[in-house]
Amino acid sequence: MSFIEHIPGTRPVVTPARHPRAIGVGVLGLHEGRTMLAALATRCAHLYPAAGCDLSEDKIAASRREWPDLFYTSDYDAMLARAEVGVVAIYTPDAQHADHILRAFRAGKDVICTKPLVNSLDAAREVLRAGRAAGRRLIVAQSTRFFEPFRRQRDAFERGEIGAIELADAHYIHRMDWYYRKSPWAAAETDWIFLGLSHPLDLLRWHLGPIKRVSAMGSRSRMGGSFGVRGFDVYLVNVESASGALGRAMGHYGCHELPRARNCIELMLYGSEGTSLAQYHDMRYVHTTRPEPQPRRDGGFDPGALGEVVEDFLYAGRHFYFNSEVHGMHFGEFANCADAFGRALIEGGPCGPDLEEGVETFCLMEAARQSALTHQPVELEPLHDSVGLRRED
Ligand SMILES: NC(=O)c1ccc[n+]([C@@H]2O[C@H](COP(=O)([O-])OP(=O)(O)OC[C@H]3O[C@@H](n4cnc5c(N)ncnc54)[C@H](O)[C@@H]3O)[C@@H](O)[C@H]2O)c1
């Protein structure tokens, strides 16, 4: 379904009619998960909000005020026991994702798991084995993929307008002092290669295909150090794909932002047929157009030149993507992701990034982390073997 079908002009978001076989979702972790509840309640046809779970009574109370009819609990097992919950959406801190996925699979639920899917090799191995054995489906909610400019960029790539990608350049840059204050686990229990770099590294994997080798560098910003961040919070990652294409990803989580010059997430694709740039969150998509041969008076043709087009959806899309704020967070892309998954559950068909691709992207993040620590390039194949993924050519 296209963006225009979702958002007619600039009118406020209208909740779509619920599919007769729509599936109930229980959301675990009601901070960012509350945005998912809002997305499910107002923008999804194939899934609907059924339950919410958080250890914090305050978080439950805040969600209950907005959606009083849902089932709420601080006990995850109690939510898993609910028959109306067919899908669990996991929005707990990174290090807990594996345990929460395993318990959802054991309870016979399908899973939406926020990024990163997991943050350790042992966890990757376990969730992959459990998912295959349980036969349940999982989507990694890599939200950036589902933001309008990135969807358009992907569609153009799939139509062949960019050609074979020769170089992909991605970044996610965001000053995170507010995040450490809100979520101290970000400094102590994970690594920015998983927490932040999951966006640009997923974008590289998505467009370049399987990655063969990674070479990365990391450092710690002064601001990150002041919060006691455990790993690096500044990363540069170079990748080589199995087909020989190159990519790089950059992340800085202690910087002073300059969003007018550089949006916090961007993906630039340099292809054999064209070049394109997708931006979060100014909601712009900039791309070349194919040369149009120009007829000459003598009957011949001039070859024409590449054009440059800027598509700007900020005003048309702000209600859907930002909940009517100027630059809010995540409502639209969470809905696009969840609804695509719900539709795939009801109608069948693929929907990604799925569990196998999510584990592969985890391996890419882990390879970058190891490379930055050892100052050596890291091959992906041994990591794939160690978690039980199929071998890549
Ligand atoms: N773009 C995106 O998709 C996006 C954006 C932000 C955060 N995230 C991801 O979402 C996850 C959560 O991030 P956040 O910013 O909401 O963190 P947060 O610390 O603000 O919130 C986590 C919530 O989980 C609850 N919780 C913790 N353990 C629990 C348990 N065992 N059972 C029930 N509730 C539990 C906490 O009480 C808290 O309310 C992280 O993995 C983060 O990477 C994704």
Type of residue found at 261: A
Cβ of 32 less than 6 Å from ligand 1: yes
**Is residue 14 in a domain?**
yes
Binned at pLDDT 50, 70 and 90, residue 11 comes out as low
Q: Residue with the nearest Cα to atom 11 of ligand 1?
A: 91
Cβ of 114 less than 6 Å from ligand 1: yes
Q: Residue with the nearest Cα to atom 7 of ligand 1?
A: 32
Q: What local confidence, expressed as pLDDT, does residue 1 receive?
A: 34
**Is residue 82 in a domain?**
yes
Q: Do 226 and 213 reside in the same domain of the chain?
A: yes
Q: What local confidence, expressed as pLDDT, does residue 366 receive?
A: 98
Q: What local confidence, expressed as pLDDT, does residue 5 receive?
A: 39
**Is residue 392 in a domain?**
no
Q: Do 294 and 160 reside in the same domain of the chain?
A: yes
Cβ of 195 less than 6 Å from ligand 1: yes
Q: What local confidence, expressed as pLDDT, does residue 119 receive?
A: 96
Q: Do 100 and 168 reside in the same domain of the chain?
A: no
Cβ of 361 less than 6 Å from ligand 1: no
pLDDT tops 80 at residue 2: no
Q: Residue with the nearest Cα to atom 27 of ligand 1?
A: 92
Binned at pLDDT 50, 70 and 90, residue 12 comes out as low
386: left (phi over 0), alpha (psi -120 to 50) or beta: alpha
pLDDT (tens digit, 9 = 90+) per residue, 220-261?
999 999 999 999 999 999 999 999 999 999 999 999 999 889
Cβ of 176 less than 6 Å from ligand 1: no
Cβ of 354 less than 6 Å from ligand 1: no
Cβ of 237 less than 6 Å from ligand 1: no
Binned at pLDDT 50, 70 and 90, residue 3 comes out as very low
**Is residue 340 in a domain?**
no
Which of 27, 37, 88, 91 is the pocket-test mutation for ligand 1 (most atoms within 8 Å of CB)?
A: 91
The CATH number linked to 275 is 3.30.360.10
Ligand 1 centroid from CA 156, angstroms: 33
Ligand 1 centroid from CA 162, angstroms: 36
Closest atom of ligand 1 to 334 CA is 3
Q: Do 216 and 299 reside in the same domain of the chain?
A: yes
The CATH number linked to 104 is 3.40.50.720
pLDDT tops 50 at residue 7: no
pLDDT tops 60 at residue 273: yes
Beta bridge partners of 280: 265
**Is residue 288 in a domain?**
yes
Domain count, the chain: 2
User: Regarding predicted confidence, which is higher, 63 or 329?
Assistant: 63
pLDDT (tens digit, 9 = 90+) per residue, 201-224?
999 999 999 999 999 999 999 999
Q: Do 364 and 273 reside in the same domain of the chain?
A: yes
Ligand 1 centroid from CA 145, angstroms: 20
Task: Out of 86, 113, 143, pick the residue that ends a domain.
Answer: 143
**Is residue 47 in a domain?**
yes
Task: Out of 143, 167, 198, pick the residue that ends a domain.
Answer: 143
Q: Do 154 and 92 reside in the same domain of the chain?
A: no
Ligand 1 centroid from CA 183, angstroms: 8
**Is residue 331 in a domain?**
no
Ligand 1 centroid from CA 204, angstroms: 25
Q: Do 136 and 178 reside in the same domain of the chain?
A: no
**Is residue 333 in a domain?**
no
Q: What percent of the chain has pLDDT over 90?
A: 84
Q: What local confidence, expressed as pLDDT, does residue 179 receive?
A: 97
Task: Out of 101, 127, 143, pick the residue that ends a domain.
Answer: 143
Cβ of 54 less than 6 Å from ligand 1: yes
Q: Do 219 and 364 reside in the same domain of the chain?
A: yes
pTM here?
0.94
Cβ of 330 less than 6 Å from ligand 1: yes
Cβ of 329 less than 6 Å from ligand 1: no
pLDDT (tens digit, 9 = 90+) per residue, 85-103?
999 999 999 999 999 999 9
Q: Do 249 and 367 reside in the same domain of the chain?
A: yes
Binned at pLDDT 50, 70 and 90, residue 324 comes out as low
Closest atom of ligand 1 to 30 CA is 39
Q: Do 245 and 315 reside in the same domain of the chain?
A: yes
Residues of the domain holding 83: 3-143
Q: Do 92 and 223 reside in the same domain of the chain?
A: no
Q: Residue with the nearest Cα to atom 5 of ligand 1?
A: 32
Q: Do 137 and 151 reside in the same domain of the chain?
A: no
Binned at pLDDT 50, 70 and 90, residue 316 comes out as confident
Binned at pLDDT 50, 70 and 90, residue 393 comes out as very low
